[in-house]
Amino acid sequence: MTETAPKTRDELFRFLDELGIKHATKDHPPVYTVAESVSLRDEIPGGHTKNLFVKDKKDQFFLLTVEENAAVDLKTVHTLIGGASKVSFGKPEKLMEYLGVQPGSVTAFGAINDTGHNVTFVLDADLMEHDIINCHPLSNDATTSIARDDLIRFMEATGHRPLVLKVTA
């Protein structure tokens, strides 16, 4: 079995370009938390994301992409997303294996690296009310803005059908 290296930011942008998806990226110092990224709000309009990489006891993996200040109840979210049991955070090794990113750089754009379709992507309904969605482009030293409908189109082009569900409190 040969492992392929995760896609780079440039490969992600090339893929978006091939799909005819408009995107804009702003470079910034690395941010690891929502609190650290707040200073960028005035410069980057749209919905800003927080991502939770979780798994249930049957090793079903999910990426929950929600609005940055939203609260997710990890004790009950499995009943909304189709998990067999309560979820816990996925290990960094699986995050790298499936989505090709490190903790702190988790992003819906990681779908480009999930060639084995090991992860179910869940986009929170409240986040999807924004016209523009902002995600890290596979690293946390930039923010890429993309239209809401284009984010779904991107995910479908990677072979994923994201669930749009209200998973926040």
Asked whether the predicted pLDDT for residue 63 surpasses 80, the reply is yes
Output the six-digit token pair for 153. Answer: 């189109």
Please give the Cα distance from 63 to 110 (Å, whole number): 9
Q: What SS3 string covers 95-140?
A: HHHHHCCCCCCCCHHHHHHCCCCCEEEEEECCHHHCCEEEECCCCC
Parent domain of 113: 9-165
> Model-level pTM?
0.93
Output the six-digit token pair for 71. Answer: 């609260």
Is there a domain that residue 1 lies in?
no
pLDDT tier at 1, thresholds 50, 70, 90: very low
Is there a domain that residue 95 lies in?
yes
pLDDT tier at 29, thresholds 50, 70, 90: confident
Is there a domain that residue 124 lies in?
yes
What mean pLDDT do residues 50-58 have?
94
Indicate which CATH number applies to the domain containing 45.
3.90.960.10
Is there a domain that residue 62 lies in?
yes
Is there a domain that residue 26 lies in?
yes
pLDDT one-digit tens code per residue, 93-120: 999 999 999 999 999 999 999 999 999 9
Domain count, the chain: 1
Q: Tell me, what's the pLDDT at 55?
A: 96
Is there a domain that residue 119 lies in?
yes
